[in-house]
Amino acid sequence: MKILMVDGALPARDCSAGERATFDLIDALKALGHSVVFTALGTNGRETERLHALEVAGVTILGGHGAGLNHLHDALMETWNTVIVHRPGPALLAAEALKAAGVVSVHWGHDIHTWRLEAQRQRCDNVPRHKLLVTDVTERRCWQAYDLNVYPTGREAEHVNSAGGRAVALPYYRLTSADLAPALWSPARRGCLMVGAAFHEPNFDAVAFAVAEVLPLLGPEHGITVVGEWPSERRASFEDDGVRFTGRVSEAELRRLHADHCCLLAPLRFGAGARRKLVAAMGLGLPVVTSEEGLRGLLVRDGLHADGVRIAATAEQFADRVTELATTPALWNTCAADALAAVSAVYSASSFDAAVEQTLQRAEECHHDR
């Protein structure tokens, strides 16, 4: 098949979870033998680096990317089997052009943005009401306009279907053999690993909570390492002897950090979608300590099975879970093994690729049924 992928900007493998998920989809499509062409409606910097990453992945870049909707109209003059548009903003902008072209259309939503912003507004009171309303209208229009909407959790897909759209749940993350590795407890493993950039508000809130309320309850051997982009003004109030910020790191360094720490700590208090940091840690055999909110959406089962994940609600419970893992080798090994088995069954490359192929077939069926 000849597939056109559209987003607001070119993705990078080493940035956000959403951009990594875009590359996971690209890798699956290429493994399935499809031809992938990418175009962006706008730009966001690091263009040369991003173009190179896409070319290495075997993607053809459509000439004139970044020129907006006029460029997309021109691109749709070609024949495509399917067009996949990422995120609600670009998807709404592209909807009329796709309808006019009569092509099979897929909205790759990443998460229900309205849910995440609504939870952030309730928790942090820093989301203007008009932004929430605009996002809600945008997503609802996408659900109606596209042949198929794709989300990482059953909960989100069911919501879209109940609102009159057509949606399926797909794992979203693709773990290769390098991402799936058994691990054993070792006394050399120390401290908690946290992953996520500060610009994503759920990550900032989680680190603030962990540093202010969980860290004081842990012993001095249990520091916190934070991986991801954190501007100096956002990390200044957190930096002390027990907190270390690494900035963005390579894949090899991130794997090493997983091997060095006792657990992945993810005390998420709001958000949406499935959290890649949890899936990645489980695949590398690092036990996860998270909240019910963090677990929600994992393995497209919306928290019905913990699968080796340790759940906590209060600061005291988070501290207890970390301490239990650090002092009980048998528990640590059991959690690591159960987590690896769970993600292997759902997020392995073979499982992910099969789900993508089924999704493409479903989109074509929906297109012909409309």
Question: Which pLDDT value is given to residue 16?
Answer: 79
Contact criterion met (CB below 8 Å) for 108 and 25 = yes
Tens digit of each residue's pLDDT, the chain (370 residues): 999 999 999 998 877 788 999 999 999 999 999 999 999 998 877 788 899 999 999 999 987 776 677 788 888 888 999 999 999 999 999 999 999 999 999 999 999 999 989 988 988 888 899 999 999 999 999 999 999 999 998 889 999 999 999 999 998 899 999 999 999 999 999 999 999 888 888 899 999 999 999 999 998 888 999 999 888 888 887 877 789 999 989 889 999 999 999 999 999 988 766 788 999 999 999 999 999 888 877 765 555 566 889 999 999 999 999 999 999 999 999 999 999 998 998 899 999 999 999 999 999 999 999 8
Contact criterion met (CB below 8 Å) for 153 and 274 = yes
Please report the DSSP string for 129-165 in residue order.
HHHHHHHHHHHHHHHHHSSEEEESSHHHHHHHHHTT-
- Give the integer Cα–Cα distance in Å for 353 and 336: 25
Q: Spell 328-353 as b/e; 16+ CB within 10 A means b.
A: eeebbbebbbbbbebbbebbbbebbb
Report how far Cα 166 is from the mean position of its chain's Cα atoms: 21
- Give the integer Cα–Cα distance in Å for 335 and 290: 13
Query: Residue type at 226?
Result: V
Which helix (H) or strand (E) segment holds residue 319: the answer is: helix 315-327
- Give the integer Cα–Cα distance in Å for 178 and 362: 30
Q: Which residue has the tokens 């208090």?
A: 269
